[in-house]
Amino acid sequence: LAWSPQGTYAGPLSPEGAESPDEVALRRVAELALAQGRPEVAVRALAQVADTPRARVLRVRALAQAGRAAEAEAQLALVQDADVGGQEARAELYLLVRRPDVALELLGDAAARPAQATAHQAWLIGTCLVRLGRAAEAATWLARVPPDATDSARARAELVRALRLTGLPQLAAEVSARGPTGGGGGEPAQ
């Protein structure tokens, strides 16, 4: 039997690693709250869910979105590569909790071999470098992301940001105007 923190019966214990129906419902509430930009609701819902890898990753996202980066980083320290689908996904979470230095360290092998980096790795590395204030270096990484890559729109937005930070606003405007396919219609950078 499982007992709630208030001392009331909370239903049968789930097998190790399995979520109870209540936990599944609370996790879904948290996911919806995050999608609707209500991270504090997600944090409260996830406080009642067992500490599984999936819930931990949701907690990281909720805490980061709520502006509670230190708490998010503490949760992220418990996340393993296998919990999120690999080292790149964990690096992306470190970007989310405002730790581009740690994210870049996780991407060290890819950063050491630029010619072999995937488009996603180039976007991640470039984004880390922009956030670390190394805009010129970031621009070279972000420019490697092909227009048809999944991360091309995000890479282009970061490239525009990097170019502006390096003092090239006209080039930034040109890249922004080119859009995802190299033609016109790009979205304005933020």
If one counts every other C-beta atom within 10 angstroms of the C-beta of residue 66, the result is 17
User: Can you give the pLDDT at residue 190?
Assistant: 37
Please give the model's pTM, rounded to 2 decimal places.
0.77
For residue 27, give both structure tokens. Answer: 């996790």
Architecture of domain 87-190 in this structure = Alpha Horseshoe (1.25)
User: Can you give the pLDDT at residue 20?
Assistant: 85
User: Can you give the pLDDT at residue 178?
Assistant: 85
Question: Which residues of the chain register pLDDT less than 70?
Answer: 1-18, 180-190
Return the amino acid letter for 190. Q
User: Can you give the pLDDT at residue 19?
Assistant: 74
